[in-house]
Amino acid sequence: MAENNGEIKLFGVLGSPFVRRVQIALKLKGVEYTYVEEDLKNKSDLLLKYNPVHKKVPVLVHNGKPLAESLVILEYIDETWGNHPLLPQQPYERALARFWSRFIDDKCLPAISKAAWNVEKEEREKGIEESSEAIQFLENELKHKFFGGENIGFVDIVAGFLAFWLPVIEEASGFTLLSSEKFPKLHKWSEEFINHPVVKENLPPRERLLGFFKARHASITASK
Amino acid sequence: MAENNGEIKLFGVLGSPFVRRVQIALKLKGVEYTYVEEDLKNKSDLLLKYNPVHKKVPVLVHNGKPLAESLVILEYIDETWGNHPLLPQQPYERALARFWSRFIDDKCLPAISKAAWNVEKEEREKGIEESSEAIQFLENELKHKFFGGENIGFVDIVAGFLAFWLPVIEEASGFTLLSSEKFPKLHKWSEEFINHPVVKENLPPRERLLGFFKARHASITASK
């Protein structure tokens, strides 16, 4: 990029799907930034200063001004750097993209979390059912190569969790949610998404993530 | 408004703070619409068709195209009708408005709900503490007459719950969260907000709401 973007810092942790959203968006826009790895067990004073409300990553700091919450940051990035638009151009399509992004965060992720990490087996089974119902809505919504059409857009970036993290969780936990029989369109989308060159170079190391999730699964199943 | 806005329908229920957000936004923009009262105990086929995901109000239908989720609808209204902007103009300020709106929905409202409607007394007391912490962030954030500056903006509309519904819940439940001693700026803002002419004519009847909340409080305290 020829333009001067000012100083851009991103505070994150290696395995976070929320941080990766921001990294993929910045990369798609061609925006250079400095990445700062946080230790969530020993949060830095800077993180606590920049995100006193949630004390979480990602935090994007642009010319000293901090922003938290990945969906808020994605919209900021899209409004600040106009190339490779993430949201569609028309208000109605923009609204739908916001709706489905929020749906992923408010419905899909909590259901998947319940399916994978609830200590009660019965609750985990309920979680699988709820996840499947929620994912079905996304399957129906997928009408092109990507949610964003022919190019990766806002909803694709937000849904990235399903393409990369979910299969690792499935492997660690011994269940299958995103089968190619049940969700053929999402399955194909997942392949397209994780093999997109910008996405591919901005994913965490699979083996490390798998080790982390396997340990987590073992601790869950050991407790009941 | 001279311009032809097409057909605009809003599906809602009388007492909902989320529906009122949309009504206030449309009124501020000077957009005429048809209001359709729903019965949530017997949801209409149209509501289920328009919002199959959440099956909730508000739903805005603009020229046959439905949208759900009040924050999504507010952004749509702001992008579709440019007069009386609800979000600020600059990306960073827009991002902050989105951040605080989401904070109200994700942190303040669940905490207040816990304070008022949890069947366990201990949980209610925790809810009061959590609400107070969350509201303190908003108190610190309020730097002008409104969150939006000199005029009502996006965050004000979203925060409307605190100005009108919360005091009614406080009266019904016998606790005080939003005292003028503890939160002087928010207290003053509440007065300004509910007395704004557009807001004033778009609030539900206080006595009916009080009756509803009193009955709910009685059923909560009777169960323990």
Helical packing angle, B70-80 and A91-103, nearest 10°: 160
pLDDT > 60? residue B3: no
The alpha carbon of residue B8 is apart from the nearest alpha carbon of chain A, in Å, by 13
Question: CB atoms < 10 A from the CB of A2, how many?
Answer: 3
Cα separation, A16 vs B119, whole angstroms: 35
As a whole number of angstroms, the distance between CA A21 and CA A164 comes to 12
Residue B193 CA to residue B144 CA, distance in Å, equals 12
Amino acid at B150: E
How far apart CA B183 and CA B173 sit, in angstroms, is: 19
Six token digits for residue B210: 């009080």
Give the distance from residue B92's alpha carbon to the nearest chain A alpha carbon, in angstroms: 7
Q: Cβ contacts (< 8 Å) between B107 and chain A: which residues?
A: 53
pLDDT at A144 over 90: yes
Average confidence score pLDDT of chain B:
95
- Residue B4, pLDDT score: 64
Region of B182 on the Ramachandran plot (φ > 0 left; ψ -120 to 50 alpha; else beta): alpha
A contacts of B71 (beta carbons < 8 Å):
98, 102
The answer, yes or no, to whether residue B224 has pLDDT greater than 90, is no
Q: How do residues A60-97 score in pLDDT, each as one tens digit?
A: 999 999 999 999 999 999 999 999 999 999 999 999 99
Closest C-alpha among B65, B48, B84 to residue B57: B48
3-state secondary structure of A8: strand
Q: Which residues does B79 contact at the CB level (< 8 Å), separation at least 6?
A: A91, A94, A95
Q: What is the pLDDT of residue A176?
A: 93
Residue of chain A whose alpha carbon sits nearest to that of B99: A72
Distance spanning both ends of chain A, measured CA to CA: 54
pLDDT-based confidence at B210, cuts 50/70/90? very high
Number of CB atoms found within 10 A of residue A127's CB = 22
**Based on the number of CB atoms within 10 Å of its own CB, is A197 exposed (0-12), middle (13-18) or buried (19 or more)?**
exposed
Note whether A91 contacts B: Cβ–Cβ < 8 A.
yes
Model pLDDT for residues B14-71, shown as the tens digit of each residue: 999 999 999 999 999 999 999 999 999 999 999 999 999 999 999 999 999 999 999 9
pLDDT on residue A3: 52
Model pLDDT, residue B2: 40
* CA gap B50, B40 in Å, rounded: 14
Residues from chain A that touch B62, judged by Cβ atoms under 8 A, are 92
State in Å, rounded, how far the first CA of chain B is from the last one: 54
Question: Mind listing the pLDDT tens digit for each residue in A90-117?
Answer: 999 999 999 999 999 999 999 999 999 9
pLDDT value of position B207: 96
A12 and A19 Cβ atoms separated by less than 8 Å? yes
Is pLDDT above 50 for A1? Answer: no
pLDDT tens profile A203-213: 999 999 999 99
CATH class of A91-222: mainly alpha
Whether chain B has a CB inside 8 Å of the CB on A57: the answer is no
d(CA B191, CA B163): 7
Alpha carbon distance B180, B220 (integer Å): 27
pLDDT tens per residue across span A14-60: 999 999 999 999 999 999 999 999 999 999 999 999 999 999 999 99
pLDDT, residue A89, reads 96
Mean pLDDT over B142-159 rounds to 96
Q: Where are the domains of chain A?
A: 8-80, 91-222
Q: How far apart are CA A65 and CA A50, in angstroms?
A: 8
Residue B23, classified by CB atoms within 10 Å of its CB into exposed (0-12), middle (13-18) or buried (19+), is buried
Q: What is the pLDDT of residues B106-147, one digit of tens each?
A: 999 999 999 999 999 999 999 999 999 999 999 999 999 999
A73 vs B: CB within 8 A: yes
Residue of A nearest to B75 (CA): A95
pLDDT value at residue B103: 98
Of A75, A96, A103, the CB nearest to B95: A75
* Distance (Å, whole) CA A29 – CA A74: 11
Instruction: Tell me the nearest-neighbour CA distance from B192 into chain A, angstroms.
Output: 26
Topology given in CATH for the domain delimited by B8-80: Glutaredoxin (3.40.30)
Is residue B221 over pLDDT 90? no
DSSP state of A113: H
Distance CA A210, CA B9 (A): 49
